[in-house]
Amino acid sequence: MATITYRDALNEALVEEMERDESVFLMGEEVAEYDGAYKVSKGLLDRFGDGRVVDSPISELGFAGLGVGAAMVGLRPVIEFMTFNFSFLALDAVINSAAKMHYMSGGQINIPLVFRGPTGAALQLSAQHSQSCETWYLHAPGVKVVTPATPADAKGLLKAAIRDGDPVAVMEGELLYNMKGEVPDVEDGDFVIPLGLADVKREGGDVSIITNGAMVHLALMAATKLEKEGIETEVLDLRSLRPLDVNAILATVQKTNRAVVLEEGWPYVGLGSTIVSIIQEEAFDDLDAPVLRVSQADVPMPYAKNLEQMAKPSIEGVMDACKKVLYL
């Protein structure tokens, strides 16, 4: 095991997949000469040349659509959005083209395409640049979505996404790029994490926090604090939001009988409400308490530091919800 950053884990994944398969190429704003806005593509231009590491104009709809076209003719594009906040400009290419082409061509055309980049709020980037974008992508059938929380998951999931035959959005945590973690050594073989598998990041028997992406770390911090109060918290990292590991969700609910769904984005018509709905449909008799959600406040993200903190999900909020479902 090597301890590397989330950023380097993504870089490793790109290098390994581009080495393995010549049809894989990277395109996006400043991915080549500048090594990427978050330096994920560092060294790739030198290594693979400007035919496979391509700087695009500042035109999200243009290069996303170009990616869809390239995928249609057999390439495996990795389209980097500088952040997913900017990808709203490209949603027609994502929702109407990438997501639907396989269906509308009667299965003749596959779109083996990866959209990747950071999602979620960082620090004081204000309302337009602090959004958790998963729900926009999750809503439409036809796009797969993964949200790696650790360096190992980032590497394993990005590699799986590149190899997948359908469009996959790999949504990275903006605040996670510098996070270090253990990742299996390259010499130990190909490290790929299949899409659609959740991961129990912490075991516990009293209450389950079901979450994803950067929120996994918030959940783990809350769990550590709850442990001091004698509460054993299980943290289920969904990793893959579509396809969703429903079995893992049901298993943890059956184990603890109480669940809190923690999501980074807004609560309204969000990921959390879908998970709550699945739990009450499939695990009703296992519930000892209503399932609660913790999310960002239902407001545009404030710029002011104090207000931003109040709008984001907090450790205290997660702890309160856990105690509430435990009737404490």
Partner 1 sequence: MATKVHMEALSPTMEEGQVVKWLKSEGDVVSSGEILAEIETDKATMELVARGDGMLRRILLDAGSTAPVGAVIGVIAAEDEDIAGLVAGAGPPVSEEGSAPGSSAGASSPAPVASQPAVSASPTPSPSDAAASVSGGRVKASPLARRMAEEEGVALEDVRGSGPGGRVVKRDVELAAMEGIVAGPLTPTAGGFVHAEEDYEDIALSQMRKTIARRLVESIGPVPHFFLTVDVDMSRAGEARHKVNALLEADGVRVSINDIVLKATAVALRRHRDCNAHWGGDYVRRFNRVHLGVPVAIDDGLITPVVRDAHLKGLAQIAPEVRELAGRAREKRLRPDEYTGSTFSVSNLGMFGIEEFTGVINPPEAGILAIGAVEDRAVVESGSVVVRPRMKVTMSCDHRVIDGAQGSSFLRTLKQILEEPLTALV
Which candidate in 12, 16, 17, 60 is catalytic?
60
Kindly state whether residue 250 participates in binding partner 1, applying the rule CB under 8 A. Answer: no
Residues 6+ apart with CB under 8 A from 17: 24, 158, 159, 162, 163
CB of 324 to partner 1, least distance (A): 9
Which one, 30 or 232, has the nearer CB to partner 1?
232
Kindly state whether residue 327 participates in binding partner 1, applying the rule CB under 8 A. Answer: yes
CB of 312 to partner 1, least distance (A): 26
Rounded Cα distance between 240 and 34, Å, is 30
CB of 120 to partner 1, least distance (A): 31
Residues 6+ apart with CB under 8 A from 189: none
Which one, 49 or 205, has the nearer CB to partner 1?
205
Rounded Cα distance between 314 and 234, Å, is 17
Which one, 192 or 319, has the nearer CB to partner 1?
319
Angle in degrees, CA 87, 237, 276, rounded to 5: 85
Answer for which of 74, 106, 189, 230 binds partner 1 (CB under 8 A) is 230
Are the C-beta atoms of 166 and 100 separated by less than 8 Å? no
Kindly state whether residue 234 participates in binding partner 1, applying the rule CB under 8 A. Answer: no
Which one-letter DSSP state was computed for residue 106?
A: T
Kindly state whether residue 229 participates in binding partner 1, applying the rule CB under 8 A. Answer: yes
Are the C-beta atoms of 207 and 258 separated by less than 8 Å? yes
Beta pairing, strands 207-211 & 199-202: unpaired
In sequence order, what E strands does 147-217 have?
Answer: 168-173, 180-183, 199-202, 207-211
Active site residue 102: no
Active site residue 60: yes
Which candidate in 30, 102, 129, 227 is catalytic?
129
Kindly state whether residue 91 participates in binding partner 1, applying the rule CB under 8 A. Answer: no
Which one, 182 or 229, has the nearer CB to partner 1?
229
Kindly state whether residue 320 participates in binding partner 1, applying the rule CB under 8 A. Answer: no
CB of 317 to partner 1, least distance (A): 18
The interface mask with partner 1, positions 187-206, x = CB under 8 A, is: ------------------xx
Rounded Cα distance between 215 and 271, Å, is 13
Site for partner 1 in 253-292 (CB under 8 A): 257, 284-289
Which one, 310 or 328, has the nearer CB to partner 1?
328
Among the listed ranges 26-34, 154-162, 166-174, 224-232, the one in contact with partner 1 (CB under 8 A) is 224-232
Residue type at 282?
Answer: E
Number of neighbouring beta carbons within 10 Å of residue 273: 17
What are the structure tokens assigned to 218, written together?
């918030």
Give the H/E segment covering residue 15: helix 6-20
Q: Which candidate, 316, 25, 308, places its Cα nearest to that of 175?
A: 308
Are the C-beta atoms of 114 and 158 separated by less than 8 Å? yes
Which one, 157 or 207, has the nearer CB to partner 1?
207
Residue with tokens 């109407």: 96
Among the listed ranges 183-191, 216-224, 226-234, 302-310, the one in contact with partner 1 (CB under 8 A) is 226-234
| Binding residues vs partner 1 (CB under 8 A) | 205-206, 229-232, 257, 284-289, 326-328
